[in-house]
């Protein structure tokens, strides 16, 4: 990151691309283990796609989203809750926004999807976020299936919204994303993300922008500087070592260039001051 012509900060980003189970490109440490955080959401939506024939593309997209609580995104969450059926008060993601509400939480779509899964399976919805609940056990199984590792080899912890988060090496994350469209239900999730990229995050986000720049690809960012993507049979995972996600767009542009894929719109992230003046930029070296 340069302010003026002076380097003010450096973000080290590890990246790996996997195709047909083999690493086809790497930078840094592809064995680096990290929690998937919100990059898990497309995988977490797969049991919902498998369990219910009545969920459409918008439902699966918002269940895969880290939304910004714009009106279109909130309406999608409300619609999924109505379909579940469930009430806003049943969401266990915590409170965000103004006014404070679980609906405004960026993970409310994922949580609405978990409630809809509970209704389909006849499971109690109380404490669906906890590791011992059937919802979280099923999500662990999906991650093991996609990454092709044993369930007991996946470290777990509590995510920011209270559900379980899963840790994998970057290479296994990339493999899981490459497999996602091939899994039962995963094809529906991938199609939903491609159809509704703006529901997934927003117009300035690296994942939304990547999907718009590369038709046919899916992408999902996660907290602490993670970005996973898939398309053309390739899975990709990038992780900022310091957890700062602002480096991911430029890093993705540089790394995807090795795959002969162009992300020129992400290559430079301009930095502006409070007056809206451009004072620097972030780009990969």
143 lies in some domain: yes
Number of separate domains in the chain: 1
Does 70 reside within a domain? no
32 lies in some domain: yes
Where the chain has pLDDT below 70, the residues are none
Nearest-angstrom CA–CA distance, 223 and 210: 17
- In-domain check, residue 198: yes
Asked if 176 and 147 count as a contact pair (C-beta separation under 8 A), the reply is yes
pLDDT value for 144: 98
pLDDT of res. 59: 98
Burial of 87 per CB tally in 10 Å (0-12, 13-18, 19+): exposed
Q: In the block, which residue shows the tokens 């430029």?
A: 250
pLDDT for the residue 23? 98
CA distances (Å), origin 276, targets 3, 202, 261, 272: 14, 20, 31, 5
Asked if residue 76 is part of any domain, the answer here is: no
Q: Is residue 114, in this structure, part of any structural domain at all? A: no
Q: Which residue has the tokens 């009430």?
A: 87
Q: Within a domain: residue 63? A: no
Q: What is the CATH number of the domain that holds 193?
A: 3.40.710
* pLDDT given for residue 189 in this prediction: 98
Residue 55 counted as domain residue: no
- Write out pLDDT tens, residues 219-249: 999 999 999 999 999 999 999 999 999 999 9
Tens of pLDDT, residues 242-272: 999 999 999 999 999 999 999 999 999 999 9
Residue 133 domain boundaries: 2-48+128-283
Torsion angles phi and psi, residue 211, rounded to 5: -65, -35
């Amino acid at each position: 990151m340069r302010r003026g012509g002076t380097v003010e900060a450096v973000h080290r980003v590890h990246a790996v691309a996997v195709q047909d189970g083999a690493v086809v490109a790497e930078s840094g440490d592809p064995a680096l283990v990290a929690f998937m955080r919100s990059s898990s959401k497309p995988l977490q939506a797969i049991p919902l796609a498998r369990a219910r024939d009545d969920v459409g593309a918008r439902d699966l997209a918002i269940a895969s989203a880290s939304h910004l609580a714009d009106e279109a995104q909130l309406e999608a969450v409300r619609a999924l809750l109505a379909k579940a059926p469930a009430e806003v008060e049943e969401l266990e993601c915590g409170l965000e926004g103004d006014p404070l509400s679980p609906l405004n939480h960026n993970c409310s779509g994922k949580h609405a999807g978990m409630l809809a899964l509970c209704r389909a399976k006849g499971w109690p919805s109380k404490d669906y976020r906890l590791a011992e609940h059937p919802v979280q056990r099923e999500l662990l199984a999906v991650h093991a299936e996609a990454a092709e590792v044993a369930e007991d080899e996946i470290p777990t912890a509590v995510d920011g919204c209270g559900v379980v988060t899963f840790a994998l090496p970057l290479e296994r994350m990339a493999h899981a994303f490459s497999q996602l469209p091939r899994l039962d239900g995963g094809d529906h999730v991938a199609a939903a993300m491609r159809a509704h990229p703006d529901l997934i995050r927003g117009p300035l986000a690296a994942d939304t922008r990547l999907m718009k720049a590369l038709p046919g690809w899916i992408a999902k960012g996660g907290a602490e500087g993670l970005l996973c993507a898939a398309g053309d049979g390739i899975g990709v995972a990038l992780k900022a070592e310091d957890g700062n996600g602002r480096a991911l767009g430029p890093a993705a542009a540089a790394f995807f260039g090795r795959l002969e894929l162009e992300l020129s719109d992400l290559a430079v992230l301009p930095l502006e001051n409070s007056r809206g003046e451009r004072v620097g930029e972030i780009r990969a070296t």
